[in-house]
Amino acid sequence: LDVEYFNTALELHKRVNAKETIVGWYSTGSEINYNSSLVHQIYKDKLANPVLLTVDVAMKNARLGIKAYRGKQFG
């Protein structure tokens, strides 16, 4: 994961779209895996409580499977 690229892209986005607020990120598929947790940590370092939106494009029962997740720390 290229954290420097992410930081640069985020700053450029803020400059061009000052009125927009990034609330999280999305991934295709229906499962959250280890890689998802790594990406989510990058967003968590920049955003207060990022949202992960998963979009399963398999079209089971002629529907998109869409779910949203927020992280919760256990400890």
Strand 65-70 and strand 24-28: pairing?
A: unpaired
Q: Is the pLDDT of residue 62 over 70?
A: yes
Q: How far is it, in rounded angstroms, from Cα 20 to Cα 26?
A: 17
Q: Tell me, what's the pLDDT at 74?
A: 61
Q: What is the DSSP letter of 58?
A: T
Q: Is the pLDDT of residue 1 over 90?
A: no
pTM over 0.85: no
> Of the candidates 36, 54, 45, 47, which has an alpha carbon nearest to the alpha carbon of residue 3?
45
Q: Tell me, what's the pLDDT at 73?
A: 67
Q: Is the pLDDT of residue 60 over 90?
A: no
Q: How far is it, in rounded angstroms, from Cα 70 to Cα 49?
A: 7
